[in-house]
Amino acid sequence: MLKLILFFSVLPLLVGCNSEEEVIIDESLPVTVHFAIEDSIGDDEWQDFITVTINSENIVTDVVLNSVTPLANNLRRDIAQLAGFEDAFGYNFYEQATSLERSLIGISSNDLADALLDAYDDGTVDFVTKKFADLADRALNTEPVVRGSYIDGAYHSIKTIDEDEDDYKLQYFVNFFVLNGNIAAVHFNAFYFRDDIDVNEWRQQAQILEKALISIQDPKEFTFDDDGFTTDIPGVYIEIKPFVSLVIQALADGPVVINLNE
């Protein structure tokens, strides 16, 4: 697999790992970027992900901890930073995550997972770090990120489908996040379901469809018949044409600006 290699100036970078010592990072060394995201929304209602940059000596040069909201329409640290409030547990995730990330720069990548676990155990941060530690292990044990062609950010598209019977209108929408140029988190849903539709079953199939998009990345690779149905995705019997159309439209429109005040 193609590796994403970035080169920097030969000037050394002085980083404060903690209050007692400083580490000099050689910026002339090539780096690779590693990424991992939870497969689904966790019990805490966040879909956590981590991005880790390491150099050729396996030293951490950058790390970002973040989470996607259940509707895939916002990021946890953006909510905390832009809104400027503490969450329900009484702390600001953005502030604590940023401080922790800075303290991790300069350590060996082999020690990253343990350092994340220790940060919660010793009270450095108030948010549970175990999932981030597990994701760090996964990220560092997979191939480096191959950056995709999409622009990073939040995407959204919505469409109302008119149906003849009883002037019924079904409103589909899709939200997704592009990270490192790749579609990483997706939420497909609808408003105003008919009474005869099993919403839970529909959402289960929609989730399979979401994962299929993350896997293939290009919505134009989906195939469906004239009625909008496909036989190519096991377990999906709902109409997929609205989903494909919305994703294509959202990508054409580009990332949206998230306004937390609306």
CATH of the domain at 81: 3.30.390.50
Residues 168 and 68 occupy one common structural domain: no
**Which among 79, 109, 140 is the end of a domain?**
140
Residue-number span of the structural domain to which 44 is assigned: 12-140
Using alpha carbons, select from 167, 193, 173, 163 the residue that is nearest to residue 73. 173
For the chain, how many structural domains are there in total? 2
Residue 219 has phi, psi (to 5 degrees) of: -60, -25
Residues 165 and 249 in one domain: yes
Inter-residue contact 115 to 109 (CB < 8 Å): no
pLDDT (tens, 9 = 90+) of the chain, 262 residues, equals 333 433 333 344 445 444 455 667 888 999 999 999 999 888 888 999 999 999 999 999 999 999 999 999 999 988 888 766 666 567 889 999 999 999 999 999 999 999 999 999 999 999 999 999 999 999 999 999 999 999 999 999 999 876 555 556 788 999 999 999 999 999 999 887 777 788 899 999 999 999 999 999 999 999 999 999 999 999 999 999 999 999 999 999 999 976 655 4
Nearest CA to 53 out of 14, 130, 107 is that of 107
Same-domain pairing of 247 and 165: yes
Same domain, 135 and 190: no
Residues 21 and 119 both lie in one domain: yes
Q: What pTM was computed for the model?
A: 0.85
Are residues 191 and 92 part of one domain? Answer: no
